[in-house]
């Protein structure tokens, strides 16, 4: 019998996120796990995937062992198809040329709204976070994939601030607010892969990762989450997938 492979939670996030991407898509990816997931997809099943950086790079060539620490760093521009201004990047979003956005956040709620602004009372927050950047634009105009650690303090009943909109209050509230494009597509964590009900727009578990129980997900979620009585399970990362990730990030800057 083949021994199961060892992998970190970050490697699991990158693999499971990468598998969601489809050949021919244009994906808005930040550095870290989103970039690793996108490059992994390119080198496995989606050779025609185009990566777009918020800093203005379209179609970068990512060099193994030299991952950019920021989307504005010069390593992002190597052999790129095009270098744009941030204004032009946002215009691509508005014109519908970007299919997928990748994002994380400090908090997410049952309808996929993300908070990366502050925790606590807005007048006197306990924690100040980086803020939106282009996050609101991306979440408003593309299909979103969120990759984050699955913890009760992150998966909350209601986010302290909606930095990036998911399905707002559920149902048709996103469309009624004027956001007629995009939406929250998948939430990938170290425990499971989640989607959203087509009508209620409430988060639901699509598949648990190997070895994870439904109760473990419930214990780490701050709201009631739908899980099938006999849930599906994801396939564990393969040796090929892990080999690509470790070649890209040999110093484990993002996958430790």
Six token digits for residue 181: 């494009």
CA 114 vs. chain centroid, Å, equals 11
Helices (H) and strands (E) in the chain, counts: 7, 13
> What is residue 75's predicted lDDT score, i.e. its pLDDT?
83
Q: Give the Cα separation of 213 and 221 in Å (integer).
A: 13
Residues 6+ apart with CB under 8 A from 248: 36, 39, 40, 62, 64, 65, 67
Is residue 200 over pLDDT 80?
yes
Residues 6+ apart with CB under 8 A from 249: 36, 65, 67, 255
Is residue 236 over pLDDT 80?
yes
Q: Write the CA distances from 138 to 27, 162, 166, 224, integer angstroms.
A: 10, 13, 11, 27
Is residue 3 over pLDDT 70?
no
**pLDDT tens for each residue of 162-193:** 999 999 999 999 999 999 999 999 999 999 99
Domain boundaries defined on the chain: 9-248
**pLDDT tens for each residue of 100-109:** 999 888 999 9
Q: Give the Cα separation of 28 and 93 in Å (integer).
A: 9
Mean pLDDT, the chain, whole residue set: 93
- CA geometry: angle 148, 154, 159, nearest 5 deg: 120
Q: Give the Cα separation of 87 and 49 in Å (integer).
A: 22
> What is residue 76's predicted lDDT score, i.e. its pLDDT?
83
Six token digits for residue 79: 């052999």
Smallest Cα–Cα separation from 209: which of 242, 241, 235, 239?
A: 235
Please give the average per-residue pLDDT across 214-230, as a whole number: 96
Is residue 2 over pLDDT 60?
no
**pLDDT tens for each residue of 133-163:** 888 999 999 999 999 999 999 999 999 999 9
Q: Are 28 and 102 in contact (CB under 8 A)?
A: yes
> What is residue 70's predicted lDDT score, i.e. its pLDDT?
83
Return the percentage of the chain with pLDDT > 70, whole number.
99
Is residue 131 over pLDDT 90?
no
Is residue 237 over pLDDT 60?
yes
Is residue 250 over pLDDT 80?
yes
Is residue 37 over pLDDT 80?
yes
Question: Catalytic: 54?
Answer: yes
Q: Are 89 and 65 in contact (CB under 8 A)?
A: no
Q: Poorest-confidence range of 89-98, 109-118, 216-225?
A: 89-98
> What is residue 1's predicted lDDT score, i.e. its pLDDT?
44
Q: How many residues does the chain have?
A: 256
CATH number of this structure's domain 9-248: 3.40.1080.10
Is residue 95 over pLDDT 70?
yes
C-alpha neighbours within 13 Å on the C-beta side of residue 139: 27
Q: Write the CA distances from 214 to 7, 27, 55, 229, 250, integer angstroms.
A: 21, 31, 39, 9, 34
The one catalytic residue among 3, 11, 54, 176: 54
């Amino acid at each position: 019998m083949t021994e199961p492979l060892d992998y970190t939670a970050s490697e699991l996030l990158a693999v499971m996120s990468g598998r969601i991407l489809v050949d021919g898509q244009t994906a808005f990816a930040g550095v870290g796990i989103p970039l690793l997931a996108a490059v992994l997809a390119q080198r496995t099943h989606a050779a025609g995937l185009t990566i777009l950086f918020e800093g203005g790079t379209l179609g970068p060539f990512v060099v193994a062992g030299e991952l950019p620490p920021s989307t504005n760093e010069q390593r992002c521009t190597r052999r790129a198809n095009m270098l744009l201004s941030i204004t032009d990047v946002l215009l691509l979003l508005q014109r519908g040329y970007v299919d997928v956005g990748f994002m994380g956040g400090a908090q997410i709620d049952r309808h996929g709204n993300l908070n990366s602004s502050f925790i606590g009372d807005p007048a006197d927050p306990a924690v100040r976070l980086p803020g939106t950047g282009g996050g609101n634009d991306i979440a408003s105009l593309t299909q979103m994939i969120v990759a984050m650690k699955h913890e009760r303090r992150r998966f909350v009943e209601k986010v302290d601030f909606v930095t990036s909109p998911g399905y707002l209050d559920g149902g048709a509230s996103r469309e009624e607010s004027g956001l007629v494009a995009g939406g929250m597509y998948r939430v990938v964590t170290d425990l499971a892969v989640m989607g959203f009900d087509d009508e209620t727009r409430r988060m639901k578990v699509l598949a648990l990762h190997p070895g994870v129980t439904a109760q473990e997900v419930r214990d780490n979620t701050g709201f009631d989450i739908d899980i099938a009585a006999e849930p599906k399970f994801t396939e564990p990362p393969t040796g090929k997938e892990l080999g690509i990730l470790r070649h890209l990030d040999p110093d484990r800057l993002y996958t430790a």
